[in-house]
Amino acid sequence: MKILANDGISQNGMDALEAAGFEVLNIKVAQNQLESYINTNGIDAVLVRSATEIRQELLEACPSIKLIGRGGVGMDNIDVQFAEDQGIHVINTPEASSIAVAELVFAHLFGLARFLHQANREMPLEGDTRFNDLKKMYAEGIELRGKTLGIIGFGRIGQETAKIALGMGMKVIATDIFIQNATISLNFFDGQKVNFNIDTVSKEAVFKEADFISIHTPSTENYLIDQNEIQQMKPGVGIINTARGGILNEIALVNAIEEGKVLFAGLDVFEKEPTPEMQLLMNPELSLTPHIGAATKEAQDRIGSELANQIIALLA
């Protein structure tokens, strides 16, 4: 059987699949050439991340496809229901990238709280001539310990984010439409373990109480956080979105920053990828990354192994 890893797969995942007798084609085929490539090469399974879309039209035109694998959590780039109705396996890796995304949340938070995103721009340009001026500009950072982190979406990634927050002494409140409570276990290097029981609350309660808000929900048809929701938040709130573009109204966010309602924001995802709006790219109160939430070596190894194990179980 032939597997097209169109958005890539880790070496350990490829090795496991090849050892099980699969032929893995780890190449990138342009979206508009996928149909031709799949049919010409008799592809049985297609592995994607967020870049490649697998829609009904493609599946109807490519009857050889038996499995679609998504390296990651969200599957909004796949017509899942149609695929499953045709008897096609649709799999993903919901646990593999949780740690990587959660750590990126705090990379943004730490950087924003201490102006690192700005200082790293200015120091190379003016550090030798305006050192004391820059020191004064960035001397009013804030500490995260003791602050309240509000988590919107308390699934695997949200709970992993909560672990980091609890471990550094933050209060955690969370909201989720499906999860009423969760036990967060902190496992330490010496074998000690501490459990925290967290009951979820309403979105309104999170908006009202949180000093910082981190978003971890699937894609939504309409904005989950728009002008009205931002106005319910505490003055000086910080917002981090590592979930999906289109969940957070970027225009409302920029306006709220300019008005002083929002202190800062960290964005890993954008409404218009791969061409984010220039007003986002140039805003000094934004910390920006190019959709790299799951992009660590460790996470990609876990994703590759998890995909390979599922494919072998289903198709070998």
Of 263, 229, 232, whose CA–CA distance to 248 is shortest?
229
Averaged pLDDT for residues 125-134: 97
Residue 131 has pLDDT above 90, yes or no: yes
The tokens describing 33, both together, are 């050439």
The tokens describing 177, both together, are 């439409």
Average pLDDT, the chain: 97
* pLDDT tens readout for residues 67-124: 999 998 889 899 999 999 999 999 999 889 999 999 999 999 999 999 999 999 999 9
Query: What are the residues whose beta carbons fall under 8 Å from the beta carbon of 304, sequence distance 6 or more?
Result: 9, 10, 11, 12, 13, 14, 16, 71
Residue 54 has pLDDT above 90, yes or no: yes
Q: What is the pLDDT of residue 119?
A: 97
Domain ranges for the chain, please list them: 2-94+297-315, 98-288
Common-topology check for domains 2-94+297-315 and 98-288: yes
Q: What is the pLDDT of residue 94?
A: 87
* pLDDT tens readout for residues 196-232: 999 999 999 999 999 999 999 998 999 999 999 999 9
Buried b (16+ CB within 10 A) or exposed e, 2-16: ebbbbbbbbeebbeb
Query: Topology of 98-288 in CATH?
Result: Rossmann fold (3.40.50)
Active site residues: 244, 273, 291
Count the Cβ atoms, other than its own, within 10 Å of residue 221: 6
DSSP-assigned letters across all residues of the chain: -EEEETT---HHHHHHHHHTT-EEE-----GGGHHHHHHHHT--EEEE-SSS-B-HHHHHH-TT--EEEESSS--TTB-HHHHHHTT-EEEE-TTTTHHHHHHHHHHHHHHHHTTHHHHHHHHHHHTTTSHHHHHHHT------TT-EEEEE--SHHHHHHHHHHHHTT-EEEEE-SS-SEEEEEEE-TTS-EEEEEEE---HHHHHHH-SEEEE-----SS-SB-HHHHHTSPTTEEEEE-S-TTSB-HHHHHHHHHHTSEEEEEES--SSSSS--HHHHT-TTEEE-SS-TT-SHHHHHHHHHHHHHHHHHHH-
Q: Which residue has the higher pLDDT, 94 or 25?
A: 25
* pLDDT tens readout for residues 267-309: 999 999 999 999 999 999 999 999 999 999 999 999 999 999 9
* pLDDT tens readout for residues 142-195: 999 999 999 999 999 999 999 999 999 999 999 999 999 999 999 999 999 999
Q: What is the pLDDT of residue 113?
A: 98
CATH superfamily name and code, 2-94+297-315? NAD(P)-binding Rossmann-like Domain (3.40.50.720)
Contact 213, 233 (CB under 8 A): yes
Buried b (16+ CB within 10 A) or exposed e, 59-75: beebeebbbbbbbbbbb
pTM, 2 dp: 0.92
* pLDDT tens readout for residues 27-53: 999 999 999 999 999 999 999 998 899
* pLDDT tens readout for residues 190-202: 999 999 999 999 9
Residue 254 has pLDDT above 90, yes or no: yes
Q: What is the pLDDT of residue 115?
A: 98
